[in-house]
Each structure stands twice: as C-alpha cells, then as structure tokens.
Amino acid sequence: MELTVKDCVSLPVYTFTFLLGLPANLFVLFVYVRKARKRGATPNVVYALNLCLANLALVAWLPVKVLETLLRNWTLPAPLCPVYSFFLYASLYGSCLFITAVTAGRYLSIAFPIVYKRYRRARLSCFLCTALWALVVLHLSVSLMAEGGAYFVGVENDSRACYEHFNASQLAVLLPLRLEMAVVLFMLPLTVTSFCTLRCVTLVWRSNLPPPGKKRVLAVALSTLAVFVVCYAPYNASHVVGFVQGDNVAWRSSAMLTSACNVFLEPVVMLMLSPAGSRGLLRRVCGGRSLSGRHRGKTTSGFTNIKLPSDRSQVGGQVTKTH
C-alpha cells in the first residue's frame, strides 16, 4: 500500500525519536543513578528517574509504531493493541506530570528554601510519584472499558489500525474521558508549570546572582516550559476539539508526533539540571580528563547562591540546591 504524505513525515520522526531517545534516556538514567549512589537520592533524582522510565516505556514501543506506519497495517495480534496504547499514553501523561513535579520543586526551593528543606525527602517524592502513576493508570484503565471486545483494532479500506478507528459506543466513553484527561493531566499541570516557571524567572531576575548564572537558570526554566507546551499541547488540543465536535478528529494521530519528541527533548532538560555530573561523565566516556576537580565547589546550574530581596523575610538566606 502506498505511503501518504503524513506517513512519509511520521516515519522519519518516529525513527529519529527512537535513535535519539534510547541513548539519551539511558545516559540520563545512568547519570542520576550514579548521583543517587554517590550523594543519596533527592526529590529531583526521584523525579528524573521516573521521567526516564516513562520515556523508555515509549521508546520501547516506537519500533511497533514505525512498523505500523510503514506497512499501514496493524500486523501484531489484536490483544497487543490495548497493551501498546496503554504504555504509549502512560508514558505521555506520566512524563507530563513528572516535568510538573520537577518545576514545582525547583520553584519551592527558590521561593521557600527554609520551609521546603523540611519536606525535601526522597521518601515523600517516592510517595508522590506513586500517586501520580496511580492517577495515570486509573484514567487509562477506564479507557480500556470502552474497547468492547474489539481490542481497539479498527478496519478501514482493508487495513487494520490500532486505536484510530472507533465506533459510536466506544466514542461515547472515550470522548468525555479524553476531555477529562486533557483537563486533569495536562491543563492543570500546565497551569502549575507556567506559574512556577514565571515565578522562578521573576525571583531569579531580582536576585543577586551574576548575569551568567541568571542566564543559565532562565534558560533551564524557559526550556522546560517550552518543551511542555510544544510536546503536549497539540495532542491534548485534539481531545478538546474531538469532544466539541463529537467525533475522533482526523489530525489526532499527527498531533502525536510532537508528543513523541518529548523522548529526546526532556533528557536535554534533565541534563541541564545536572550539568556538572553529565559533563564529567561525558569526559570520561570520551577518554578525557574530568573537570570535576577543576570546578570543585562551584555550581553550573545556577540554582544555588541566589539571594532574594530582603522584603521576602521567609526566604532570607541562600537557596538550597534542588538536585
């Protein structure tokens, strides 16, 4: 069957995402596991590890997506379609929530360092991550109730597709559920992420941090927000439009392309949060001498030594490191 223009665009995007996403997430996973073993687990490490696991869950199924796009047909057994869809969307919404957790933790460490330090425990972060995973799994489990024994494998023009063609009874369950997921799992996290990012930008800009340090902090904060919006907004917009129109919108699968890009964009953000460790590890991998001794006692991420204006009596001193 001849490939369409959309297929010709999707194939290189999914292939490129797999080739970049797999080594990038494995590298970030190694960096943060190594950091946890050397310095102990912190909330940022816990969130980063869960984010990597969510991304790797998507990466593991990307070859299936490539094969389906190339053949324009679902060739695997029908019962695998719900499993494939479950991991695909669990990764998408899990990543969305963990990025929000990272951003919120960064803001609290800057705005309320004294109070936040009391609750800055890896165990609490593990409980939070468990609750976030449970929230995602609960929503996706409800969606599986709509399959009606067909395993979401629809047939159109003599080709089978996974989770693309739906009947009226399936849409009656999926459309309201998708709208609710767009609100709870995207719009609310987007609101929290935007607020925390803008507050971080304001506080850092008013701090006594040197200009290069301010630029680094602002780059990390704004890059996180940009990745969040670019990757997750189009797909969740299709949920809202689909609910309003009462149908599965045709461009929904195309909107998934930007969501897949989070697999290689989010590791870049996480490495920006831990530049010293990742740089030293890269130097070792490349056979060079580590810069850790040369930069001992210095920070490169810019989230330390930020003194806020004196009118914020609660903050007062210096900001603790978020990683």
Assign 308 a pLDDT band (cuts: 50, 70, 90).
low
What number is the average pLDDT over the span 90-108? 92
CA 186/CA 184 separation, integer angstroms: 6
Would you list the domain boundaries of the chain?
5-279
Closest CA to 103 of 181, 200, 173, 23: 200
CA 145/CA 142 separation, integer angstroms: 5
Radius of gyration of the chain (CA): 21
17-69 pLDDT, tens per residue? 999 999 999 999 998 898 888 888 888 899 999 999 999 999 999 999 999 88
Q: What is the mean pLDDT of the chain?
A: 82
* Residue the block writes with tokens 């360092």: 113
CA 126/CA 149 separation, integer angstroms: 36
State the CATH architecture for 5-279: Up-down Bundle (1.20)
CB count in 10 Å sphere of residue 239: 23
246-284 pLDDT, tens per residue? 998 989 888 999 999 999 999 988 888 765 544 554 455
Closest CA to 213 of 110, 284, 283, 76: 110
pLDDT for res 285: 46
Enter the DSSP assignment of 304: S
Query: What is the four-CA torsion angle of 167, 170, 176, 181, rounded to 10 degrees?
Result: -110
Query: What is the four-CA torsion angle of 182, 186, 188, 193, rounded to 10 degrees?
Result: -160
